[in-house]
Amino acid sequence: MVMKHIFALILVLLFSLTVSAQVYQHDKDKEKQILSLEAGHWDFSPDWYYYFMHKDYSGAYTKWEWHGFKSGLRVHFKETKSNVKTIAPRRLLQIEAMKSKAKVVEKEREQIKKLNDEEMARAADRNVDLVYSKYAEYFSDLQATISDGLSYCLAASGGKLKDAVNELLKRNEVITANISYLRKTGPGYELENVKREKGYAKAKTDMEELRKSVFNLAKICHAYYDKRNK
């Protein structure tokens, strides 16, 4: 029976110790220390303990204060006298640095997106020839004139202007080959329409110059070889 009472007493003691260990214990001195180092009012407790044991750390100093019979030296704490500083300013700087970095990253992301969008637009532009239709009919008319003029020179001269005709034919082949290249699209032929426009404009100029040469040769042929003039 005695053993039962002893065993029950032991259980009660163990239970009370466990409960007391789990109960929240507010430590005001520790709270002041944490708040001072974080961002709160710079204050420590017990004040004389920090003055004598942690003066450099706490920035403790004494000041005489008049309070009647309770006048005397009082301990005060000043952050500027401490060899440590609050964490909050450093954290604020870190936060600002992170914000600044985030802005830079966002700006770079927008620039990359813009470049990517522009490249996609250029890629789409390179895959479709939007310019040739503007020149197609004119090129066709010029080619017909050149072909008719060279045929006339060859026939009217009885082949005597063959070399001159062949030279002009070669020039025309180069021009038409360049046009064919400009008209190609797809992998390996990615030309932007601005470049196609310049290419077609040059081909137009070259073809007009060739037409003049054919016209001049046709005038010579008409004057010297066309039997109908004799």
Q: Is residue 50 part of a domain?
A: yes
> Same domain, yes or no, for 163 and 204?
yes
Cα separation of 124 and 43, whole Å? 68
Q: Is residue 121 part of a domain?
A: yes
Q: Indicate the residue among 101, 126, 151 that finishes a domain.
A: 126
> Same domain, yes or no, for 169 and 102?
no
Number of domains comprising the chain = 3
Q: Is residue 173 part of a domain?
A: yes
Contact assessment for residue 196 and residue 128, using Cβ atoms and an 8 Å cutoff: no
Q: Is residue 20 part of a domain?
A: no
HSE-up (13 A, CA, CB side) for residue 30 = 3
Whose CA is closest to 123, among 206, 186, 177, 53? 186
> Same domain, yes or no, for 58 and 114?
no
> Same domain, yes or no, for 180 and 204?
yes
Contact assessment for residue 162 and residue 154, using Cβ atoms and an 8 Å cutoff: yes
Contact assessment for residue 41 and residue 35, using Cβ atoms and an 8 Å cutoff: yes
> Same domain, yes or no, for 155 and 117?
no
Q: Phi and psi for 112 in degrees, rounded to 5? A: -65, -40
Q: Is residue 3 part of a domain?
A: no
Contact assessment for residue 160 and residue 226, using Cβ atoms and an 8 Å cutoff: no
> Same domain, yes or no, for 213 and 122?
no
Cα separation of 30 and 23, whole Å? 17
> Same domain, yes or no, for 75 and 96?
no
pLDDT tens, the chain, 230 aa long? 556 556 556 665 665 555 444 444 556 666 666 555 555 566 677 777 777 777 776 777 887 778 777 777 888 877 767 766 665 555 556 666 777 777 777 777 777 666 655 655 555 455 567 888 889 999 999 999 999 999 999 898 888 899 999 999 999 999 999 999 888 876 666 678 888 889 999 999 999 999 999 999 999 888 888 666 55
Neighbours of 36 (CB within 10 A): 21
Q: Is residue 19 part of a domain?
A: no
Q: Is residue 18 part of a domain?
A: no
- pLDDT of 82 reads 73
Cα separation of 192 and 185, whole Å? 10
> Same domain, yes or no, for 96 and 77?
no
Q: What domain range is 29 assigned to?
A: 25-85
Alpha helices in 157-192 (DSSP H): 162-183
> Same domain, yes or no, for 34 and 103?
no
Cα separation of 91 and 86, whole Å? 9
> Same domain, yes or no, for 139 and 208?
yes
Cα separation of 193 and 182, whole Å? 9
> Same domain, yes or no, for 111 and 149?
no
Q: Is residue 221 part of a domain?
A: yes
> Same domain, yes or no, for 137 and 223?
yes
